[in-house]
Every structure is written in structure tokens, then in C-alpha cells.
Chain A
């Protein structure tokens, strides 16, 4: 993962954790990339993860002027908690879409929603159906 992607992750993490309403809607916690094996998946939790790697955007003279990439931010939980999952995903969108912020010193980051995610997943060994709801966000950073 690039340094810029890491800073985008920092901004997403601090933004979501800094919102009391959001964290109330994620009683299972907020995690980067995947749910730890020791975590409880019976409650609604949040995941943010890299969707594409860093791409450099170059100016006319060939110099790199900024970087861009995509991240997914989702709320996940048992499907019988779908209304709560959707509420958590809505809050993620409200907090992150068109967010302009900074992390890691002077890095300026703009985050914009690209498309939404909504899918179900049956975990065969437990028989539990999980719902994933969230968004793919595009980011630009310098």
C-alpha cells in the first residue's frame, strides 16, 4: 500500500471514528481491510479497504501533480439487521462523500463517491446470511 493510500485510510478512520453517531451504528467496530479473526461478526461492523492501487496523475511536463485511487467503505452484519446496516452505510456516505481533508502533515485529500455496493453473502459453515452495504469512493491526494 502506498503512503498516500495510507493517509487516505487515516482520514477515513479518523472521520468515521470521530462521529459518535457513526460509531453507535457500528457496534461491532471499524476495521481496515478485513475483520480480525477474533472479532465478533454478529453485530454490524465497518470495513474500509483498498480497491485500486495508487495512480499518479501527471502534469503537462510529465511531473506527478497528485495521486488518485479507490477505496471501499462498507457496513457488514447479519442480514436480519439490514435496516441497521443501511443506516450505518448512509452515515458513511454522509461523512465521506465530497470530504476535503488532510492527514499525514500537509497532504490534501478529496474523497468523492463513485458507486454503491449492496450484496449478500451466505457463510456456509454457520448458515448465517450477511449483508454488505456501502460505497466505492474515489480519492485524489497531494
Chain B
């Protein structure tokens, strides 16, 4: 009577877990980079520096809100921070928030002042890097 042995290697769950973890790490890195770039762009419109200091990143597990609020308050005690941005539900999401209450007026302009955007340029500048990193990850997976 013939007999056979079947060995099944099911690595898909391991691969999926590693892919997820790698993507989450890339998203976090991109968000931190956007925060740094936004702070660089915001340098063009510095008065007290509070707006620049109030830019922070929120991920699934961490928030820079407290530090940003403290730094902004030390630079301008009269400045008002907006409420803390909620943490994203997924670890493959992150939020970079311009926390100062007047940030929107710098980003999009006022009746008396032209816009001095710092958030959109930061995100646009970082976007190609994230896309390239995700493509590299996908290539490594298929190799």
C-alpha cells in the first residue's frame, strides 16, 4: 500500500505580520519626517516660534501633544493650543497636527495676510519618500 507524507509550510501569516509591522514603521517614520519638514517650512513665518513648536505627531501608540504644548507655552504664554488630536485606530496611520489655534490662518491666509503654508508643503515633500519606501518593501516581499 502506497503511503505519502505531506508537509505544509504556511508562511503567509508570518509574512503578513512582518509586512504590517514594516509598513507601520514606514508610516511612523514618514509622519515624523513630515513634522520636521513642517517645522522647517514654518520657520519662514516665525514670530514667537510657538506655532512651530506646536506641530506634533500622533500615532497609534504615542502622542507628541504634551511636549508640543509645553514648548509652545514657554515661547508664548498667551498662545492657545487646540485639543489633542485623537490617536489613530490603526498602527498604519499617523497624524501630524499643527496644534496652535491660529495655524489655519498661516496655512490658508486671512483677509489681511497671504497664506504662508507649512503643512501641505511638508506632506507633499515627504510623499515621494514614503511611496518609494513602500515600493521597496513590496519589491523585497516579491523577491
Q: State whether B121 touches A74 (Cβ < 8 A).
A: no
CA distance A49 to B121 in the complex (A): 13
CA distance A33 to B114 in the complex (A): 6
Q: State whether A52 touches B104 (Cβ < 8 A).
A: no
Interface hits, A33-58 → B, CB 8 Å: 33-35, 41, 47, 49-53, 55
Q: State whether B112 touches A55 (Cβ < 8 A).
A: no
Q: State whether A70 touches B104 (Cβ < 8 A).
A: no
How many B residues face the partner with a CB closer than 8 A? 16
Q: State whether B114 touches A70 (Cβ < 8 A).
A: no
Q: State whether A132 touches B108 (Cβ < 8 A).
A: yes
> What's the count of A-B pairs with C-beta under 8 Å?
50
Q: State whether A123 touches B109 (Cβ < 8 A).
A: no
Q: State whether B108 touches A41 (Cβ < 8 A).
A: no
Interface SS of chain A: strand
List the A residue with the shortest CB-CB distance to B124: A52
CA distance A130 to B112 in the complex (A): 11
Contact of B111 among A41, A51, A55 (CB under 8 A): A41
How many A residues face the partner with a CB closer than 8 A? 23
Contact of B114 among A34, A55, A76 (CB under 8 A): A34
CA distance A33 to B113 in the complex (A): 9
CA distance A47 to B112 in the complex (A): 12
Additional A-B contacts beyond A53-B121, A117-B108, A132-B108 (15; CB < 8 A)? A33-B115, A35-B111, A49-B115, A51-B121, A52-B120, A52-B121, A55-B124, A72-B115, A74-B109, A121-B105, A121-B110, A121-B111, A130-B110, A130-B111, A132-B109
Residues of B within 8 A of A (CB): 104-105, 108-115, 117, 120-121, 124-125, 128
